[in-house]
Amino acid sequence: AYKLWSRLLQIDRGNSKGCSGILCDEWKQFDCFEKWYNENYYAIENEKMEFSYRFFDIYNDFISPKTSCFLPIGINEIVKKLGGHFKNNGLLLNVEKDNRSKLYKIRMNNNQCVAFSDSVEEINAIREIILKKQFWELSQKYKDMLPEQIYARLVNADFYRR
């Protein structure tokens, strides 16, 4: 708990590469954070767990008990990529624009093109369907292992909605 708390303080102070966030006042005191940590940490056999403050809102920068949770690393890696990719270029994860053909493409599974379109709206809609399927599969894999609110978020999978 202490190591994570120290990292969150660094993020709050702007001293963490690639991470930005504002730590709530409550968690600036270790004993408050430690209490939340002990009440909310859970383990899943053969899974590495990670802390997330963007799972419930990929655009979130406020680190607090209401915005934070623990996730299996595989889920958290996808969530981290979703927010950063969309913020940087307005395209969903795995979507790119081919400047030569002027087509938007979805590349997955060893960089294989799985869909293309000349419309950014259409390609993002297709990618969102694929994402929902991926998160549904993850929700089923972890069905009886995740806290209810995390399971529900995976099932609903509206990660780009505000």
pLDDT tens for residues 71-98? 999 999 888 877 665 656 667 778 889 9
pLDDT digits (tens, 9 = 90+) for 118-137: 998 999 889 888 888 888 99
Distance (Å, whole) CA 150 – CA 135: 11
Best CA proximity match to 68, nearest among 58, 55, 59, 77: 55
The residues, any chain, with a CB within 8 Å of residue 102's CB and separated by 6 or more, are: 118
- Strands 103-108 and 95-98 come out as antiparallel
- The band of 162, judged by pLDDT with boundaries at 50, 70 and 90, is very low
Distance (Å, whole) CA 104 – CA 99: 9
Task: Summarize the confidence of residues 28-51 as an average pLDDT.
Answer: 97
pLDDT for residue 5 is more than 50: yes
Single-letter amino acid, residue 145: M
User: Which percentage of the chain shows pLDDT scores above 90?
Assistant: 63
